[in-house]
Amino acid sequence: MNTALRKTVIAGNWKMNNTPSETKAMIAELRPLVADATCDVVLCVPYVDVFAAVEAAAGSNIKIGVENIHWAEKGAYTGEISAKMLAETGAEYVIVGHSERRQYFNETDKTVNLRTKAALAGGFKVILCVGETLDQRRSGYTFEVVRHQTAMALTGVSADELKNVIIAYEPVWAIGTGETATDEQANEVNCYIRKVLADLYCENCANATTIQYGGSMNAGNAAGLLAQPDVDGGLIGGASLKPVDFSVIVKAGSAE
């Protein structure tokens, strides 16, 4: 983290978990546990839980987001939701390009770019996920993959809009596997992504951008990862479903 230059953001990604009533109960438990946080705290929830989440988080320091968004304003896109629809819910953040979307739902660099631009135009903050597979890492393509994914996703995104973008470096091999990148591996790639942003935009723009790490971040390893200078927060799946564990990560993100 480097809180002098950029915000630390600890975000949960609930994925396909929790009903609306479970959402209310979980946020009620989490609220007092993170009330003293000095970092930003975000929960990205399934669409069906958004209203319950916004209501349960009202008056707290917990911000609510969702896990995807469509680029069209409206139309015949069964199963999708638009920025305009989301705007009325009170959600403020949108995850875009998660590897599970890329792997299981044919998300491409092109659609990630369209979703990113639509979310930004709609006034949302984007958590943009990039990361290599195990094969790509083993073959030495990690940097190329994250550079390509980052550049493609940000095509047509202005430096001003970049202020509303958080990058989440999520090595696919570390997601939901219990295997985490080492502190140094996470920092190395985050630092590289910052270089990519400096090339695409400017050095100051890059230094001001929050770059999270995601991939089995948990209560035990968060402090080490977040102590790295280029790890500005976390995108947390499994551990975000356990309020106490998530609050330990938020505390680690509030350490500076």
Task: Please identify every residue annotated as catalytic.
Answer: 98, 170
What three-state secondary structure class fits 66? strand
> Residue 242: phi, psi to the nearest 5?
-120, 105
CB of 203 to ligand PGA, least distance (A): 28
Q: 210 and 222 in contact (C-beta within 8 Å)?
A: no
Exactly one of 45, 175, 222, 225 binds ligand PGA (CB under 6 A); that residue is 175
Exactly one of 43, 114, 217, 250 binds ligand PGA (CB under 6 A); that residue is 217
Sign of the dihedral defined by the CA atoms of residues 235, 157, 107, 83, in that order: positive
Is residue 225 a contact residue for ligand PGA (CB under 6 A)? no
Nearest to 214 by CA among 222, 224, 203: 222
Binding piece for ligand PGA, criterion CB under 6 A, among 48-56, 107-115, 208-216, 221-229: 208-216
CB of 13 to ligand PGA, least distance (A): 4
Is residue 243 a contact residue for ligand PGA (CB under 6 A)? no
CB of 60 to ligand PGA, least distance (A): 22
* Nearer to ligand PGA (CB atom), residue 100 or residue 230: 100
Q: What CA–CA distance (Å, rounded) separates 172 from 150?
A: 15
Binding piece for ligand PGA, criterion CB under 6 A, among 59-67, 70-78, 185-193, 235-243: 235-243
Q: 109 and 152 in contact (C-beta within 8 Å)?
A: yes
Six-digit token string for 128: 């943009």
DSSP string for 155-215: TT--HHHHTTEEEEE--GGGSSSS----HHHHHHHHHHHHHHHHHHS-HHHHHHS-EEEES
Is residue 170 a contact residue for ligand PGA (CB under 6 A)? yes
* Nearer to ligand PGA (CB atom), residue 82 or residue 238: 238
CB of 98 to ligand PGA, least distance (A): 6
Q: What CA–CA distance (Å, rounded) separates 146 from 171?
A: 10
Is residue 67 a contact residue for ligand PGA (CB under 6 A)? no
Footprint of ligand PGA on residues 2-21 (CB under 6 A)? Answer: 13
- Interface residues with ligand PGA (CB under 6 A) are 13, 170, 175-176, 214-217, 235-239
